[in-house]
Amino acid sequence: MPPTSIRDLVLIGLLSLALSACAADRDQERREVAELRVRHERQQADFQAGQDSFRARYPMPVRREVAGVGTLVVHEAALGGRLGQETLHLLFTWVNSTGRTTNGALVRVMLRDAPGRLEREQRVELRSLLGAGFSADSTYTSFVDMPTEGVHLQAGWDWRIELEPLVPNLWPGFVETIPAAG
């Protein structure tokens, strides 16, 4: 049935304009989604290349002896996480190789930017839950998942892990204040 009035013609015209505008919006939306996909795929490829480079730079395992503290074995070191939430992942074991009972050890993991400035640090106390200490040849295994917060995107970024003696905590909650000398 053909349009019978000018009003019908105007409505048909407006409807066809609205439909063509919707189609243009859909085309724009498709282009934006395609651009996002391409950018995400590029970022994902860069991240995976960074993971490959990291594995090549830091072959595992690594074993380090620290006199009077013990042995630290880093079993895994990886750039992990997902885009926007990247982490430095370390799995390590401390071995009480001192030949005597100790209180445990303190592991410090440091993340440094390209110029070598400390960006982040995480400390892990390897302490006996029962407070009895660790006899010779005891082990303690733990891990760290430290957010890189973009530091891994800088060429020349680095990380370091250190092992230190753990100070005994004889009275939990007690903090001793030592006056300054002089």
3-state SS of 84-149? Answer: CEEEEEEEEEEECCCCCCECEEEEEEEEECCCCCEEEEEEEEEECCCCCCECCCCEEEEEEEEECC
Per-residue b or e along 120-157, where b marks 16 or more CB atoms closer than 10 Å to that residue's CB: bebebebbbeeeebbeeebebeeebebebeebbeeeeb
Q: What is the average pLDDT score of the chain?
A: 84
pLDDT given for residue 176 in this prediction = 46
> CA-CA distances (angstroms) from residue 119 to 41, 97, 153?
28, 31, 13
pLDDT tens, residue by residue, 91-107: 999 999 999 998 899 99
In this model, does residue 112 exceed pLDDT 60? yes
The percent of residues in the chain predicted with pLDDT above 70, rounded, is 88
- The rounded distance, in Å, linking the Cα atoms of 101 and 104 is 9
Can you give the pLDDT at residue 146?
94
Residue 171 pLDDT greater than 90, yes or no: no
126 confidence band (pLDDT: 50, 70, 90)? very high
* CA 72 – CA 164 distance, rounded (Å): 10
User: What average pLDDT does range 45-56 have in this prediction?
Assistant: 86
Name the residue among 148, 138, 149 with its Cα closest to residue 77.
148
Res 1: pLDDT: 53
- Region 39-48: mean pLDDT is 85
| Among candidate residues 109, 122, 107, 105, the one with its CA nearest the CA of residue 165 | 105
pLDDT surpassing 70 at residue 179? no
